[in-house]
Structure 1
Amino acid sequence: MNTNTNTNMDIGILGAGNIGRPLGRHWAAAGHRVTFGSRDPGRLGSFVEPLGGRARAAAYAETAEASEVVLLAVPHPALDGLLRQLAGALAGKTVIDATSPIGVSDDGLFVSVIGADLTQGSWTAGRLPDSPVARAFCHFPDELLWSRGTRQPHFWGVGTASDDPGAGKVTETLVRDAGFVPVPLGGLKESSALDPGGALFGYVSTPAGLRAAAGL
């Protein structure tokens, strides 16, 4: 795990969709080396090529093995199977979970499909016991990740959580490098505000606004 936040990192992004693509663009622009992982990396050629030599596409397994920090950005229904496949390759690496176990209740409210008693961060950590896990980028509307990080850099807050100080520090650095301000919420068990139905889910605000909404 890389805990030196003064150097560029090798970042793998598992899932090159609405979350992975804008964050990868931010991180490549900040000088990091980014690998976009996909079931079909060949389809990413037209997206990756304009990003220059700091970005490439690869299969999921190669992405996990080649990276020191890995962002989970696949649809949540695919996450369990992917983690079973890649747990060994992810051992010892900082894993940032940006997925959302999103469901809708009978009365039309967002809820977590894994239940109210377990946070998504704790769920992922339980499946990756050899990896330091963090949560970030999961509450912020994905369609705003590029525009808010470029047009108003370091104005908007992004909540983070981790049980591991090193992983927390790396995650906070990457939040800043994406153009946002990290708002640490504590450990993974305290990160329910980031999950569907939580106080920060879908909420866009300044760092002070996030802290107030989370009761910090």
Structure 2
Amino acid sequence: MNIGILGAGNIGGPLGRHWAAAGHRVTFGSRDPGRLASLVEPLGEGARAASYAEAAGAGEVVLLAVPHPALDGLLRRLAGRLAGKTVIDATSPIGVSDDGLFVSVLGPDLTQGSRTAERLPESAVARAFCHFPDELLWSRGTRQPHFWGMGTASDDPGARQVTETLVHDAGFVPVHLGGLKESAALDPGGALFGHVSTAAGLRAAAGR
């Protein structure tokens, strides 16, 4: 696949490395593409750095991996370029409650996946890579490939298939939780947020 990755940090960086190793063509989008040479050059001809707009246009599937506060502005600018594409939202609307617990800044009645789908009505939106600790995305996907589960959600069958393929190609086992309105378990404060387990363990924790 041609994959555009918007954000080349703790989520986009390791996932792009996984996907390039699996044979996909990866375009990392950044505000400053010149800073990504150390990430891109070791990956060979299958990877390059570009602007956010170029990465969104280059990918048939696009991963959203920017910090959540930057997401709305980015989607306003790029919604047209993302139309007709599969968009995997890996962002986390993370906040901390007064008693020190992780919570979603969107509140209890709106999932991040549903919010992104509202912003991108012409895209097929999925959720993945958002509950797993980002510092483990590379190590768990390479040292123990296809042992650890990764929760996913989507309303679109095609987006689900693409997302599950890319979860597998990153070294994880996809665990489909249902539609975007049913994906609260993947958001901050949800049953799977920060949870690392096998596919069976994720299903049990999510009550599936």
Instruction: Report the TM range for the smaller structure's normalisation.
Output: over 0.9
Is 1:164 the counterpart of 2:151? The answer is no
Match of 2:139 among 134, 147, 150: 147
- What is the correspondence of 1:70-149 to structure 2 with a 5 Å cutoff? 70-149=62-141
Query: Per-residue CA shift, 1:152-193, capped at 9, x if unaligned?
Result: 000000000000000000000000000000000000000000
SS at match of 1:35: strand
Aligned to 1:209: 201
Q: 2:175 aligns with which of 173, 183, 188?
A: 183
Give the paired residue count. Answer: 208
Over 2 Å off, 4+ runs: none
User: Counterpart of 1:3?
Assistant: none
Question: What is the TM-score of this pair, normalised by structure 2?
Answer: 1.00
Q: Is 1:25 the equivalent of 2:17?
A: yes
Give, in angstroms, the shift of residue 200 of structure 1.
0.0
Question: C-alpha distance in 1, partners of 2:66/2:90?
Answer: 8
Q: Deviations over 1:13-66 (max 9, x none)?
A: 000000000000000000000000000000101210011000000000011111
Q: What letter is aligned with 1:195?
A: D
Structure 1 residue runs of 5 or longer lacking an equivalent are 1-8
Rounded to whole Å, the distance in 1 between the matches of 2:58 and 2:174 is 26
Which runs of 5 or more structure 2 residues have no equivalent in the other structure?
none
Residue aligned with 1:52, SS: helix
* TM-score, with length taken from structure 1: 0.96
- Aligned equivalent of 1:6: none
What amino acid sits opposite 1:81 in the alignment? Answer: G
**SS in structure 2 at match of 1:63:** helix
2:43 corresponds to which of 51, 57, 75: 51
**RMSD between aligned residues:** 0.3
